[in-house]
């Protein structure tokens, strides 16, 4: 059974990667400030490192060193490192036997009820949603803009109705121009940016590179369904440059 560790969880007993070698040792006082700074930088990089252990030789590896991302670990049955792959064959993946349980590989859960968020749950919910009547004026309040919303919305009242705000004016929001796509977002943030995602069918969170998320999003077939939980990039240098370019374009 595949075993993984993410250093941010506080489990820090692993001190050597089977490919890139040992974790840097803490320098002595005689090492000087430069050595101390290098060690601190290495530890910061290590703080969010994902590790995976070979099920055959029991060596630990950085996920990035063996091209395995954290989200993939939930899909692996047995992980084989490069050396063991040569003699014992490649990594094996879990079989998807169930579409209604988080433990999709466990056939003993066949007769258990459907869990929220699983593929079957979503498909059944989509069918039920077709019979849900459209919202009426009784359920939706339409306002002209953010200023009108501020006038009509009472924060002390129980929020029983939906608000449809026709214009972003007065909301303090800045929306990207029309046509701004996920690919544009990747270009701004970068493919190596790690993002927190949720495997919807399994209802479990994992880290994933933004580039890998984009590949999965654009794939013709999606055996798994992933959502990004949060992505903030308005303070990044790339976004600032993009905003400046747009200002120049329309000035």
Which residue in this structure is represented by tokens 């949720």? 198
DSSP string covering 10-75: T-----EETTTEEPPPPPPGGGHHHHHHHHHHHHHHHTT-EEEE-TTT--EEEGGGTT--GGGGGG
Q: What per-residue confidence (pLDDT) applies to 250? A: 38
Cβ atoms of 177 and 199 within 8 Å: the answer is: no
pLDDT digits (tens, 9 = 90+) for 117-159: 999 999 999 999 888 888 787 888 889 999 999 888 877 777 7
What's the CA gap between 204 and 23, in Å, rounded?
29
pLDDT digits (tens, 9 = 90+) for 16-41: 889 988 876 655 555 556 655 655 65
Q: What per-residue confidence (pLDDT) applies to 82? A: 94
The pTM (predicted TM-score) of the whole model is 0.67
Q: Mean pLDDT: which of 34-43, 62-71, 227-236 is highest? A: 62-71
Q: What count of other Cβ atoms lies within 10 Å of the Cβ of residue 79? A: 25
pLDDT digits (tens, 9 = 90+) for 165-213: 999 899 887 777 788 899 988 988 889 888 999 999 988 898 899 999 9
| pLDDT above 90 (res 61) | yes
CA atoms within 13 A on the CB side of 109: 14
């Amino acid at each position: 059974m595949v075993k993984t560790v993410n250093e941010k969880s506080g489990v820090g007993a692993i001190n050597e990667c089977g490919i890139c070698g040992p974790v840097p040792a803490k320098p002595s006082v005689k090492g000087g400030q430069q050595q101390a700074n290098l060690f601190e930088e290495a530890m910061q990089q290590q703080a969010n490192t994902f590790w995976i252990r070979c099920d055959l030789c029991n060596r630990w590896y950085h996920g990035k060193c063996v091209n395995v991302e954290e989200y993939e670990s939930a899909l692996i049955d047995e992980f084989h490192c490069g050396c063991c792959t040569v003699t014992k064959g490649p990594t094996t993946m879990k079989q998807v036997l169930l579409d209604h349980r988080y433990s999709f590989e466990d056939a003993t859960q066949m007769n258990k009820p459907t869990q929220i968020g699983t593929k079957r749950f979503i498909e059944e919910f989509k069918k039920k949603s077709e019979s849900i009547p459209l919202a009426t004026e009784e359920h939706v309040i339409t306002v002209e803009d953010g200023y009108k919303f501020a006038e009509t919305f009472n924060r002390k009242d129980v929020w029983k109705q939906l608000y449809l705000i026709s214009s972003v004016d007065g909301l303090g929001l800045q929306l990207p121009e029309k046509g701004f796509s996920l690919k544009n977002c990747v270009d701004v943030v970068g493919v190596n940016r790690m993002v927190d995602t949720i495997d919807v069918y399994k209802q479990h969170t994992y880290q994933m590179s933004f580039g890998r998320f984009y590949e999965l999003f654009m794939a013709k077939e999606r055996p798994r369904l992933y959502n990004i939980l949060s992505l903030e990039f308005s303070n990044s240098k790339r976004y600032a440059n993009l905003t400046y370019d747009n200002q120049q374009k329309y000035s």
